[in-house]
Structure 1
Amino acid sequence: MPGPRFLRGDRVDLHVLEEDDLEFLYGVMNDPRVWRSLFLAEPQTMTDEREFYEHVVADDGETHLLVCHDRTPVGIVGLNDIDPDWGVAELGYYVEPDSHGHGYATEAVELVVDYAFDQRRLEKLYANALAPNEGSQRVLEKNGFVEEGRFREHAYVDGERADVVRYGLLADER
């Protein structure tokens, strides 16, 4: 069962990530339809998920929230590498594949963007997407992110080199 609701949306709510949610994350992270799009090449163990929870979620000052539809987990969204001096952070997210196409990722990103700019006083968010992952790029573009650059043949996915597309959004652009 998800932790307390932190942010409320129309289709999804963002809940505090709890240790009990690691089983869900563990399953999703190892789904071949997911890990290929997350710049991962090695299987994630439950130990990896616990370390993520202990050293990043619970201890690092980053913000990671469980995306839920009707209190059922469907994904995760977060702000990574928050730099309060520069006012920037990296946005990361994924939704389990059976929940694709319902707008959950788009709304979760919108909620976190508003939170980042209105509550955390950040001035810029950035995100990376693999060029073949058009769905992830659409989520960013629907939320006002613009392509800022491209790391040519930066990743290796399914036996081929792939570009990584860098997106950015400034606080005054939304």
Structure 2
Amino acid sequence: MPGPAFLRGETVTLRTVEDEDVEFLQETINDPDVRHGLSATEPISEQAEREWVESVASGETGDVHLLICVDGKAVGIVGLNDVTDRIGMAELGYWLTPDAWGNGYATDAARTLTEYAFQERRFHRVYAKVFAGNEGSQRVLEKTGFQREGTFRDHWFRDGRYEDVHIYGLLEDELDRGE
């Protein structure tokens, strides 16, 4: 049984991650097209994914991870990682299945979770890291109001070469609801 809706955006519902989501999560994170936009470089086993889901459910890290659903079907995940409540800051991360790309779902999910971070968790800053070549993810952040703050040059090694990583940030008074 799917987890309950936690947040609703304009086009997506964000719900809790449950045990029955392990297969979807493992298959999608291992998809080469999805993985290419992420820092994940090693294959994720079913056991490793199950352990991650259990850690999310336990709340042991303080991070927030929610499944992105459209019409009840899981199409991705969005999360607040490295949550630092003391200073009100977290890193935003997200991914979608390739068949869900280009529909505005990532933008809606990012905006909805970022709004939650500012309004309900009272965060002051949310930031995100994105590979320089991932223009789709950069558009998601920019549509949500994030500003590019800088670049870590040759920050990540993948596909046989070093790649720049852009840092985007959003302060609580900068959230753009896209209206």
- In the other structure, the counterpart of 2:111 is 110
- Structure 1 residues 32-111: aligned runs within 5 Å: 32-59=32-59, 60-111=61-112
* % identity of equivalent residues: 52
The number of residues matched between the two structures is: 174
SS in 2 for 1:78: strand
Tell me, in whole angstroms, the C-alpha distance in 1 between the residues paired with 2:40 and 2:63: 20
| Ranges of 4+ aligned residues in structure 1 off by more than 3 Å | none
Distance 1:57 1:92, change over 3 A: farther
User: Shift of residue 4 of structure 1?
Assistant: 0.4
CA distance in 1, matches of 2:58, 2:82: 14
Gaps of 5+ in 1: none
**How far does residue 173 in structure 1 lie from its aligned partner after superposition?**
1.1
Q: Cα offset for 1:93? A: 0.4
Q: Is the Cα contact below 8 Å between 1:62 and 1:80 reproduced in 2?
A: yes
* Whole-angstrom distance in 2 between the partners of 1:152 and 1:12: 34
- 1:141 equivalent to 2:145? Answer no
Q: Normalised by the size of structure 2, how large is the TM-score?
A: 0.94
- Does the 8 Å contact 1:57/1:63 carry over to 2? no
| Aligned-partner Cα distance in 2 for 1:96–1:14 | 15
CA RMSD across the alignment: 1.1
* Counterpart-to-counterpart distance in 1, 2:171 and 2:123: 9
Is the Cα–Cα contact under 8 Å of residues 56 and 62 in structure 1 kept in the other structure? Answer: yes
